[in-house]
């Protein structure tokens, strides 16, 4: 344990721990100090940890200038412990994937996660602001923040699960905090701030759809004659927009609540209802064929219709 404390202290290059008034405790780590022995594809440029009263947060970035979404993870009693155990692993994997996606633009990839405490999902908006406030403390090195990191640091964020509507408030908050380039700190903002809201226009989904449609044109396939299995539920902007934009027959969807499957095609009208209300597939109410089913994420030892 003492060796771990020593490694922790060697890794920290910034913290607001000694600041009198804070929304959450924040640390900026040099990951090269403690990740060198780990079997990871690449050591990140920087890792931030934010510990709040109602949440726990991470932010991982692979270059000095990187951008990526902030994902808010809301749990139930059934999956909270699992989400807690895998939060950093998920953040790293999302960030590394974003780095690969951003290979042709000037900004590298980053990602952040906010894991809401058990029973604290309703505190999501204020926890997001505390997360942002803490990262701003470390970026601006405000009074009371201890730092041995000499270079200026600029973080950039985008929308992700449960944070799409927080990009405008986040930008305005950073303006009040005194951050100079406050308009650029978040993407996916409303048009009044010069942004393009990702959810409204189905940004990521449309680019994926163009890829799929290009393959279908090349192969001479018609959308309406094809089936599709979707990873990502109708509760999020990517999954819901994929249902709305595609014409294929959807045979399966998997999301955080479980999986619905029917080889004869799921009821499109019911899927559209789930997209409109932004509910997971455990709210699917239409009838299945004799081969269809819903399986909850926590079910085990279940015999499916095909045996």
**Owner of token pair 């290979």:** 103
Task: Print the domain residue range for 38.
Answer: 2-198
DSSP per residue, the chain: -HHHHHHHHHHEEEE-TT-SS-SSEEEEE-GGGTSTTS--S---SEEEEEE-SSEEEEEEESSSSEEEEEEEE---TTTHHHHHHHHHHHHHHHHHHHHHHGGGSSSEEEEEEEEEPTT-GGGHHHHHHHHHHHHHHHHHT-TT-EE---S----EEEE-TTTGGGHHHHHHHHHHHT-TTGGGSBSS--GGGT---HHHHTHHHHHHHHHHHHHHHHHT--GGG-EEEEES-TTSHHHHHHHHH--SEEEEEEETTEEEE-TT---HHHHHHHHHHT--GGG--SPP-TT-EEEETT--SPPPTT-
36 with 87, same domain: the answer is yes
Q: Can you tell me the distance from the alpha carbon of 249 to that of 227, in angstroms, rounded to the nearest whole number?
A: 5
CA distances, 229 to each of 212, 232, 260, 263, 265 (Å) = 13, 10, 10, 10, 10
What's the pLDDT at 134?
Answer: 97
What's the pLDDT at 91?
Answer: 97
Q: Does 117 reside within a domain?
A: yes
Q: Which residues of the chain have pLDDT under 70?
A: none
Output the CA angle 299-305-307, nearest 5 degrees: 90
Supply the CATH number for residue 16's domain.
Answer: 3.40.50.10860
183 with 233, same domain: the answer is no
95 with 161, same domain: the answer is yes
Q: Of 147, 165, 198, which residue sits at a domain end?
A: 198
pTM for the whole structure:
0.79
DSSP lists the bridge partners of residue 186 as 157
237 with 145, same domain: the answer is no
Q: Which of 14, 99, 111, 130 is catalytic?
A: 111
Is 41 exposed, middle or buried, given 0-12, 13-18 or 19+ CB atoms closer than 10 A?
Answer: exposed
Q: Of 198, 225, 259, which residue sits at a domain end?
A: 198
What's the pLDDT at 156?
Answer: 92
Q: Does 306 reside within a domain?
A: no
228 with 264, same domain: the answer is yes
Q: Does 303 reside within a domain?
A: no
The closest alpha carbon to 49, from 36, 37, 34, 39, belongs to: 34
Backbone angles phi, psi at 276, to 5 degrees: -65, -40
Q: Does 31 reside within a domain?
A: yes
7 is catalytic: no
Alpha-carbon torsion 93, 98, 101, 102, what sign? negative
Residues whose CB is less than 8 angstroms from the CB of residue 158 and which lie 6 or more positions away in sequence, other chains included: 67, 68, 69, 70, 167, 186, 187, 188, 198
Number of domains in the chain: 2
What's the pLDDT at 13?
Answer: 97
pLDDT of 20-79, one tens digit each?
Answer: 999 999 999 999 999 988 889 999 999 999 999 999 999 999 999 999 999 999 998 888
| Complete edge-to-edge strand list for the sheet that includes strand 46-51 | 146-147, 12-15, 25-29, 46-51, 55-61, 108-116, 66-73, 156-159
Q: Of 177, 198, 219, which residue sits at a domain end?
A: 198
């Amino acid at each position: 344990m003492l060796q771990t404390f020593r490694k922790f202290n060697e890794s920290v290059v910034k913290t607001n721990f000694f600041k009198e008034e804070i929304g959450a405790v924040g640390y900026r780590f040099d990951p090269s100090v403690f990740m060198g022995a780990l079997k990871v594809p690449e050591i990140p440029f920087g890792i931030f940890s934010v510990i709040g009263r109602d949440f726990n947060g991470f932010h991982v970035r692979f270059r000095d200038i990187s951008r990526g979404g902030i994902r808010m993870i809301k749990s139930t009693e059934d999956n909270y412990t699992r989400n807690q155990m895998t939060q950093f692993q998920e953040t790293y994997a999302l960030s590394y994937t974003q780095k690969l996606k951003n290979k042709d633009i000037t900004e590298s990839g980053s990602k952040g996660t906010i894991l809401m405490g058990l029973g604290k999902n309703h505190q999501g908006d204020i926890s997001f602001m505390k997360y942002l406030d803490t990262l701003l403390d470390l970026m601006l090195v405000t009074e009371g923040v201890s730092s041995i990191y000499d270079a200026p640091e600029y973080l950039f964020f985008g929308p992700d699960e449960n944070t799409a509507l927080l990009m405008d408030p986040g930008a305005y908050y950073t303006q009040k905090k005194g951050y100079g380039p406050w308009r650029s700190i978040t993407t996916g903002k409303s048009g009044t701030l010069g942004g393009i809201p990702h959810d409204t226009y189905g940004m990521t989904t449309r680019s994926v759809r163009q890829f799929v449609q290009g393959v279908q044109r090349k192969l001479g396939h018609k959308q309406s004659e094809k089936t599709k299995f979707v990873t990502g539920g109708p509760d999020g902007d990517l999954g819901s927009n994929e249902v709305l934009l595609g014409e294929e027959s959807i045979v399966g969807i998997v999301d955080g609540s479980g999986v619905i499957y029917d080889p004869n095609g799921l009821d499109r009208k019911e899927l559209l209802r789930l997209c409109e209300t932004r509910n997971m597939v455990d709210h699917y109410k239409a009838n299945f064929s004799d081969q269809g089913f819903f399986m909850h994420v926590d079910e085990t030892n279940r015999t499916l219709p095909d045996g």
